[in-house]
Each structure stands twice: as structure tokens, then as C-alpha cells.
């Protein structure tokens, strides 16, 4: 039986921390569906299609990663794609309370789908899309934190 995990997020933009979690997740799961969300509560820098394109570019050599649009509840999306796990990253204790709340509500809606939390590699424990955007906004070097194509997209956005 194929073990499928859904890794949901806005990925605005995808960072090396996200990528690290995917690579390590593939040691546990046969397939990971990266579910890129259009979140009306967040004002994203990149459009949904741009974010999907960036994730596709960064993961193009990872054959067991599939990138899709998340346009419904994560548990419904997971069930629709035969996923039994929702994969989430925990960077700091501040993420924990929110993530446990999400896991609890997801479990109450769909008990057959588990939430699995992974901490990032140490070099990415501080990294977030917001921090990367702030560095780029101030013309800083993002090359240590994102794929070169993402870094180029950030430069292009902030040069306008």
C-alpha cells in the first residue's frame, strides 16, 4: 500500500526549509502531495499559479512529489487523494500550539487521517517565507535560504 502524505501551505515563496522537509518526508512516505493554498486571510506576494510554478521548479527532480492546488479543507483534499497523513513542519515552540489545534480539528473531522510533525534541519529552524521576503524587500541576499529560481523571482518582484 502506498503511503501518501499531503504537505499543505501557502509556500509564498517556497524555502529551503520547505524543501528539506519534503526530502526528509520522502524517507517516510512513498509520495508527498504539496498542496499549495490560496489563503484569502493572507496577502501573498506571489499569485497561486506563480507559487505552484515555483514549487514545481524546485521539486522537478523529485519524482514522488506532486504539486496541486488546495481549494478545500485539508482533510477533504487528503481523503480525495487517498492520503492518510497531513505533514506539517514545526520550527519553534510558537508553532506548536497552532499546529496542535489544527491537528485536533482535522482529527475530529476525519479520524482516519493523521497529522505528522517534523522539525526542520537545524540550519533552517529560523527560516520562514516572511523572513525571506523581508530580506529580499531590503535587497538582501536570499541565496542561502531559497532555490536560485526563487531568489530570481523575489528580486524581480521587489525591483518593480
Q: Which element (helix H / strand E) includes 21?
A: helix 16-25
Per residue, what are the HEC states of 69-85? EECCCHHHHHHHCCCCE
Give the domain CATH number at 37. Answer: 3.40.50.620
Count of domains for the chain: 1
3-state DSSP helix/strand/coil % of the chain, to nearest 5: 45, 20, 40
Residue ranges making up the domain that contains 18: 4-159
Q: 42 falls in which pLDDT band (50, 70, 90)?
A: confident
43-94 pLDDT per residue, tens:
999 999 999 999 999 999 999 999 999 999 999 999 999 999 999 999 877 7
Q: Which residues are catalytic?
A: 18, 42, 91, 129
Amino acid at each position: 500500500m502506498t503511503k501518501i502524505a499531503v504537505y499543505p501551505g501557502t509556500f509564498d515563496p517556497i524555502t529551503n526549509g520547505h524543501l528539506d522537509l519534503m526530502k526528509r518526508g520522502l524517507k517516510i512516505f512513498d509520495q508527498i502531495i504539496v498542496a499549495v493554498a490560496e489563503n484569502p486571510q493572507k496577502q501573498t506576494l506571489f499569485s497561486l499559479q506563480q507559487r505552484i510554478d515555483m514549487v514545481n521548479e524546485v521539486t522537478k527532480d523529485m519524482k514522488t512529489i506532486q504539486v496541486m492546488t488546495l481549494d478545500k479543507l485539508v482533510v477533504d483534499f487528503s481523503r480525495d487523494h487517498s492520503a492518510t497523513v497531513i505533514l506539517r513542519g514545526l520550527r519553534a515552540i510558537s508553532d506548536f500550539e497552532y499546529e496542535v489545534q489544527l491537528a485536533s480539528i482535522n482529527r475530529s473531522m476525519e479520524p482516519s487521517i493523521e497529522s505528522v510533525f517534523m522539525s526542520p534541519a537545524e540550519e533552517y529552524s529560523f527560516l520562514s517565507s516572511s523572513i525571506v521576503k523581508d530580506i529580499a524587500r531590503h535587497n538582501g541576499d536570499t541565496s542561502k535560504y531559497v532555490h536560485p529560481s526563487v531568489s530570481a523571482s523575489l528580486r524581480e518582484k521587489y525591483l518593480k
